[in-house]
Each structure stands twice: as structure tokens, then as C-alpha cells.
Structure 1
Amino acid sequence: MGAGRVAAIVVTYNRLEKLTATVTRLLSSPSEDLAHLVVVDNASDDGTAAWLAGLEDPRLAVLRLEVNSGGAGGFEAGLAHARDRLDPDWMLLMDDDAHPEPEALARFRAGDRARRDGWAAAVYYPGGGLCEMNRPWVNPFWHVRAFLRTLRRGRAGFHLPTAAYDAPAPTPIDGGSFVGLFLSRRAVKVGGLPDGRLFVYGDDVIYTLGLTARGMRMAFDPALRFEHDCATFDPESQAFRPLWKAYYYHRNLLLAYRRAAGPLFFWPALALILPRWWRMGLRYGADRAAYRRILRRAVRDGLRRDLSLPHEVVVRL
């Protein structure tokens, strides 16, 4: 029995070249593999709206937002549209610079998906290497072995090992990224929508962690391969560019750590995290003072769980 109808949701902002590759790949899929495509245009001004308006595929729905609401706001709007207007069996999330490799959607629909509420794909860079930012994970505060591994190895202790990408069977997970993530109708009903106020970074961690906490079961399937042509960090300095992205990264990670660790472990974890974040300022050279000013505000807002700072103010920081 097939998995049922799939609606893909793509969020874009001023990356027409990459969006073109993603939408072309998706719409080349047979309608039995992809029933709907929702593109959320975050008020792009690079010709995206005109290009999308010229497409005639009946599966395509375009939501143009009045202002840039970030990836989080875009996924909130796209999921709401798919849930309320299309009612598919599965909703597939991805950025505008990511798309399924050939046959990935067919493999998803051919598999037995009923035992899980979410499926995470194996995401690779265009050159073939594993995309680390999209590596699925388990919550180390829920699993003793993962917790001990994390104490010894840091991030590698709770993210899936590379061996999982070659495993013959899926691997249970607690969460993953919004690139190649299939969510069931039931998962969205139980979990609601992502919090658009997060703008960018960590919205997928917080959302999928909430799903698992509510009893939704998720797994990683290495047969579902995606390509992600992303450039989040400066390749030489490993710094956020533009610099305002560091605000959302640190603020939202504090929210994610609080949810993952709970009240008992959050504060000890914070004592380890904050000095490392402060030292990251050394990567920014002449922008070190600006980075640390942004970090102080991000930590303040994260600890207060304050998501009210408007994006234009974040940029001015």
C-alpha cells in the first residue's frame, strides 16, 4: 500500500536561481508521487514572483507574503495552507536550495510509512558529502547512552553516525531539519504549526522535538536522498554572514536547549555553552564587538523567551 498523497512545501526569499532548480525538479515528478507543490515567497524582489506566475502546472500554489517572515514564518504559512486547503496524507518540507534526488519521492511512496509520523531524508551537498546541518539526531537528555556519548564527543554524540546513512533499515530519531522532512497529517494535527516568530534557525529542532515529546514517532530513511546547495557560514572563518543571523541562531538555540534539557539540566548546560559562544567572537575579526553585542541581546531574549524583537531591529544590531 502506498504512502498516499504528498504535498511539498518550499520557502524562498531572493534566490531565484536555486528556486528554479528546486521547483523544476519537483514538478518533473509524476503527479502520483507529488500531488501538490506550495511555494511560499517571502516578499522576494528578484523576479521570483514573475517567474512563478509564468508556471502553469495545476499542482502549484504560490503564497506571496507581504514581508519577509524568514524560514520559520514561511513554513508556518505553507504548512497551514497545505493542511487547511489541500489535506494531503504527507507534507514534505524543504528550503529553496534543496531538492529530492531522482526517485526519492517514488521511494517514499512505495515504502510502508504508516508506522511513523515523520520521516527524515539523507541530505548531501552537491559534491556528494553529507550535509552536517541536516544530520538527524536524538535528544541526549532522553537517552542515557546518547547522553554519555555527548559528554565525550559533543555534537557527534547525539547526531546520527555516518554508518546510519549506509544502513539497510531506517533508524529511529527524535528530530531533524526542515530539509527533506515528511510529516504525516496526524503529526501536523497533533503538533500544530512551527512558530513563525523564530524567523530562522532552530525552528525545525524545536518543532520536531515537540512532536516527539507528544508521542509522534520519527525515523531516518537513508534511501530518501536530498541535495542541499547551502551556504550558511563563511567557508574560511566559519562565521555567520550577514552577521544578524547570529542573533537568531543563539536566541533560538537557547529555546531549543531549554526544551531538550528540561529544568534540571538546562542551567548546567548553559554554563558550558555560553563561554564557547563568547569565544566564537574571535572568528569575526573587526566585527568581534558587533558579534558580541548581538550575542548579549540574543542570550537575554533567549533566557526571557522573548520573541518580540522585529526583524528590522535585529538587522540594525
Structure 2
Amino acid sequence: MTRLAAIVVTYNRLDQLTRTVERLLAAPEAHLARLLVVDNASTDGTAAWLAAQADPRLEVLRLEVNGGGAGGFEAGMRHLRDGMDPDWYLLMDDDGRPAPGALAAFHGNDRSSREGWAAAVTYPSGAICEMNRPWVNPFWHGRAFLTALTKGRAGYHLSDAAYEADTPTPIDGTSFVGLFLSRDAVEKAGLPDPRLFLYGDDVLYTLSLTALGGRIAFDPALRFEHDTLPFSPGTEPLRPLWKVYYYQRNLLLAYRKAAGPLFFRPLLLMVLPRWRRAAALYGADAEAYARVSARAVRDGLARRRDLTHAEVMALAEG
């Protein structure tokens, strides 16, 4: 029997976590052998609620400090790898959950042809969740590169038609919401980098897995729900301000990984002016935004990942 273990990373969102845990544990043991909840030092009653649950498949890993999504997934994957050693890992945030029947669909097909499978993630309304739309690396595929020059993001992310297709689509990267990873994938790519804290950890991880020879595919039959709000970083401010640091630094790390030395510098000429203009979105906080952004860019270009979360928050606070 294929043993699937789910990892849910949570921080102070008990209302979302309860729905996700209940949805997962509604699956039979044959479809879900273990559910590991990584509690990022929540203070909203999460620990007490988890302690009251009776399903023996539920395991809780409580961290002493909030390690962000990256730290949570790293700790969870390490814990399972060194203990249970499942055949497959399933990753998600506390506000992401499989649609009814998704785990049955995963087990209903031979998954050995790929090291990773990405789910079709939608909002509760049924609309495609853009932040979780899988993609191919345009710097590895000539056709995608040319299309990206004219269509931008749409040129290298999967089309809506892929979500309605009858067959899987090969991809290079995806998010950690509804990502199935095999034991072989973890052996190839290791664990996510906990120093990233937030944003881009999934991009860098899946891109690295593909670069190391891992094969990932998008399967529209694997349906996931992401109960979150849309976010457009180019048209609205990112709050709290400390998130700007992780968003921009980690994107630079991801851009370098994706583009390579030939295309990274030209890419900067597009990205950096856009980030400078974004200061106008922050009103009275424009100066603080500029300070955080400048440090993020400096560290991203230097490939520094050693700033602690406390230091990042202090930077944002001035």
C-alpha cells in the first residue's frame, strides 16, 4: 500500500486549520496514512485544539518559534523523512485543503512516472487561484520564452485549458499548496531552505528538483481549494511591511535560479524599476518601504539568507 503523509503548516489561523484537518481526516487510512500539523508557535488556541483530537493518524510538531512557511515545511518534511519515511508527502498551508475525492484520485492512478504531482488549485468560488498556477521555466524552453516576451506571466504559466484537460501536463515549478512529492523527490532535492521564511520557498524547491532531474506534472484531476484572497503585488501594498523583504529578496534568488547568468542582469532591468515605483502604493510608509526594499535587493543580489526574522521585523519598524 502506498503510504501518503500530509503536512499542514499553521500559524494563528485556527478557524482555517480546523476545516483543513477535518477535510483530511475524512479520508480513509488507505488514502491518508499520516497527518502532520506543524504548529509555528501559534498563540490562538491551536495547540489545545490539536491536543483534543482523537484520530491516531494526527501528529503535531510544535515549533518553539515561528519559522514561517519555509521553516514549517522544512521541519515537517525532516520529521517525516527521519521517522515514518512515507512513500509520498503532500504539502499545504492551513488554508489549503483537498477537494472531496482528491486523495482517492491520487491513489487511483500510477504515480511512478513522476517525482512530483501538482494539484489544480481554485478559490472556494471555483475560480483558478493565480498564486498557485503551475509554470514552466521560460529560460529553459524557447517557445515559452518567446511567448513570455509578448504575454508576460501568461506566457509561461499553465493556461486555463490545462485545468480542463484529460491528461497531465509536464511543469517545472509550482506552489506548496497541493503538491505531492515522492520519497525520491526528497532524496534528490533535500529539504526546503528554512532561511527563506516566506515566499519563494516553493519556487526554489520545485525549480531545484526539476534541475536535478526530477519530473513534475500537473494533474487537473487532483483538485484543491485555497481559501484565501487574491493578491496583486504590482497594484496593492504588501502588509505587514516586513513581508516586502522576504518577497523581494526571495524573488531575486528565484529569478537568478531560473534565468541563469545570461539572462539575470537583463531581468533586473525590468524588475528593479518596478519595485522602486511601488513605493507610491505605501503612502506615508513610502520611506519605510524604500528602506526595506533596498535591503531586500542588496541581500538578494548578494544571495544572503542569514537575516533572522526578528532582524527583518526590526528593519521594517525602523
Q: Contact 1:233 / 1:239 at 8 angstroms: preserved in 2? A: no
Question: How far, CA to CA, are the matches of 2:133 and 2:233 in structure 1?
Answer: 19
Task: Measure the CA separation in 1 of the matches of 2:148 and 2:166.
Answer: 25
Give the superposition deviation at 1:103.
0.2
User: Which residue of 1 is the match for residue 55 of structure 2?
Assistant: 57
- Which residue of 2, 5, 8 corresponds with 2:3? 5
Q: TM-score, normalised by structure 1?
A: 0.97
Matched, 1:195 2:193: yes
Q: Which residue of the other structure, out of 60, 70, 76, is the alignment partner of 2:74?
A: 76
Distance in 2 (CA, whole Å) between partners of 1:233 and 1:143 is: 28
Provide the C-alpha distance between the structure 2 equivalents of 1:74 and 1:21, rounded to a whole number of angstroms.
19
Runs of 4+ in 1 over 3 A off after TM superposition: 231-237
The amino acid that maps onto 1:21 is R
Q: Equivalent residue of 1:38, what SS?
A: strand
Residue 14 of structure 1 corresponds to 12
Q: Spell out the pairing of 1:218-229 with structure 2 (5 A cutoff).
A: 218-229=216-227
Distance 1:17 1:159 in 2: 31
The answer for the alignment partner of 2:114 in structure 1 is: 116
Correspondence 1:242-253 to 2 at 5 A: 242-253=240-251
Alignment counterpart, residue 204 of structure 1, candidates 202, 205, 208: 202
Output the amino acid matched with 2:240: P
Aligned counterpart, 2:271 = 273
In structure 2, the partner of 1:216 is: 214
- Give the alignment partner of residue 293 of structure 1, picking from 291, 300, 303: 291
Contact conserved, 1:172 with 1:219, CA < 8 A, in 2?
yes
2:41 corresponding residue in structure 1 = 43
Cα offset for 1:235? 10
Q: Secondary structure at the match of 1:138?
A: coil
Check whether the contact 2:234–2:278 (CA below 8 A) recurs between aligned residues. no
Letter in 2 for 1:255: L
Please state how far the C-alpha of 1:238 moved relative to its aligned partner: 2.2
Alpha carbon RMSD of aligned pairs, Å?
1.4
CA distance in 2: counterparts of 1:235 and 1:97, whole angstroms: 20
Give the alignment's TM-score, normalised by structure 2: 0.97
Counterpart residue type for residue 140 of structure 2: W
Aligned partner of 1:140 in structure 2 is: 138
State the 1:289 CA deviation.
Answer: 1.6
Closer/same/farther in 2, CA of residues 215 and 237 from structure 1, 3 Å limit = closer
Using the TM superposition, give the Cα deviation of residue 233 of structure 1 relative to its aligned residue in structure 2, in angstroms. Answer: 4.0
What is residue 128 of structure 1 aligned with on the other side?
Answer: 126
CA distance in 1, matches of 2:97, 2:67: 22
The 1:246/1:232 distance shift into structure 2, 3 A limit, reads farther
What stretches of structure 1 of length at least 5 have no aligned partner? none
Aligned positions, number: 315
Which deviations, in whole Å up to 9, do the C-alpha atoms of 1:200-251 show, x marking residues without a partner?
Answer: 0000000000000000001000111100012474899622111211110000
- The alignment partner of 1:43 has SS state of coil
The one of 156, 167, 170 equivalent to 1:169 is: 167
- Rounded to whole Å, the distance in 2 between the matches of 1:96 and 1:285 is 32
Does the 8 A contact of 2:120 with 2:224 survive in 1? yes
Task: Tell me the distance in 2 between the aligned counterparts of 1:233 and 1:157.
Answer: 20
Residue in structure 1 matched with residue 27 of structure 2 by the alignment? 29
